[in-house]
A = this chain, B = another copy of it.
């Protein structure tokens, strides 16, 4: 049976980079190596402009039914004045929460061809391959109260609430341990147990989960601030890093920058496995944002979006080999010296979004 894919291009450069994914999906369909049915809808500011909300109920319903959702990017200065509950990000956050996509996988891989583009010295990042496992449906992103109240003295008080329950920490820890097993077998858990009660519980539950049948994985704990430092000092010491929603947001951005270009990195957001079908809800998106400054110019790097498709092939569409092939096509294009502006170096061939997509396609054909 054909797989069902929902495309949500979103805002800014989202539609452009998604365009290249469509071409690749079309190619794979035509070749007969993949059978997909594709639907498309709005999210973020572009949904707000049409529906007055950052994602329509109809689009959320489609996402529930899809085997995989691919999302481009949301947000931009155009919607700066929009009410908090309708801001573009609300569409993405609602998808994560409604689909219960609690496990956000953010690989930070340094492509050999790009090692020199890193801000870090080459020897520190060459061959870097780490995976940040970020909790995505809990913590300060969703805890209540979350409000701004007017005080009697004319001032305001803003409140956000970080909440974690045992089961939320347990299930994300299991994802990290299981990933570590098919990687180098090491997990580093990060929190601020020295100042946060949620950090204390996080630490205890990760340790307890480890003792329940994951002793083959090596587990370390590190304070989140120290981990931020170590990421910059010696990133190759890490394999899998597991952390909460907010720390994961910042630390994964720092990690992504180590690799030379944010424009290169995909992410997967996964729900729990259905015990009957073995399927899990999933959303795939690049780590980069909507880049309003270059939107519409045809210069955005589509490789993170294409790499997100590769993650979908691996985790949702039952095609791990095809995923590898696509990843190799990306690496091959980079080795051949083809570059969008964000990863351009002297002597390379500078291309735009669609030429980059075409380059991946032609590598794919050859593989």
Contact assessment for B262 and A249 in the assembled complex, using a CB-CB cutoff below 8 Å: no
User: Mask for A127-150, Cβ within 8 A of B = 1, else 0?
Assistant: 000000000000011010011100
Please measure, in the bound complex, the distance between the C-alpha atom of A228 and the C-alpha atom of B119, giving whole angstroms: 13
Question: In chain A, residues 222-265, which have Cβ atoms closer than 8 Å to a Cβ of chain B?
Answer: 224-226, 228-229, 231-234, 246-247, 249-251, 253-254, 256-258, 262
Interface of A is mostly: helix
Q: Check: A58 CB closer than 8 A to any chain B CB.
A: no
B157 touches A164 (CB 8 A): yes
A166 at the A/B interface (Cβ < 8 Å)? yes
* Total copies of the chain: 2
Judge whether A162 and B165 touch: CB under 8 Å.
no
Q: State whether B140 touches A155 (Cβ < 8 A).
A: no
Instruction: Give the most central of A87, A195, A247, A251: most B CB within 10 Å.
Output: A195
CA distance A249 to B124 in the complex (A): 24
- Known A-B contacts A140-B162, A162-B161, A229-B257; the reply to A84 vs B197 at CB < 8 A is yes
Q: Which residue of B lies closest to A120 (CB)?
A: B119
Contact of A229 with B201 in the complex, beta carbons under 8 Å: no
**How long is the Cα–Cα vector from A157 to B166 in the complex, in angstroms?**
7
- Residues of chain B within 8 A of A147, CB atoms compared: 197
Whole-angstrom distance between the alpha carbons of A256 and B140 in the complex?
26
CA distance A64 to B127 in the complex (A): 52
- Output the nearest chain B residue to A123 by Cβ-Cβ distance: B119
Chain A, 75-109, CB within 8 A of any chain B CB: 75, 84, 87, 89, 93
Q: Are B253 and A250 neighbours in the complex by a CB distance under 8 Å?
A: no
- Does any Cβ of B come within 8 Å of A159's Cβ? yes
Cross-interface CB contact of A160 among B120, B146, B197, cutoff 8 Å: B197
Residues of B within 8 A of A254 (CB): 228-229, 231-232, 254
Residues of A within 8 A of B (CB): 75, 84, 87, 89, 93, 119-121, 124, 140-141, 143, 146-148, 151, 155-167, 192, 194-202, 224-226, 228-229, 231-234, 246-247, 249-251, 253-254, 256-258, 262, 289
Q: A157-B163, A161-B161, A228-B257 are in contact. List 16 more A-B contacts (CB 8 A).
A: A87-B194, A119-B232, A140-B140, A140-B195, A146-B196, A155-B165, A155-B166, A156-B166, A159-B162, A162-B162, A224-B250, A225-B253, A228-B228, A228-B251, A229-B254, A232-B258
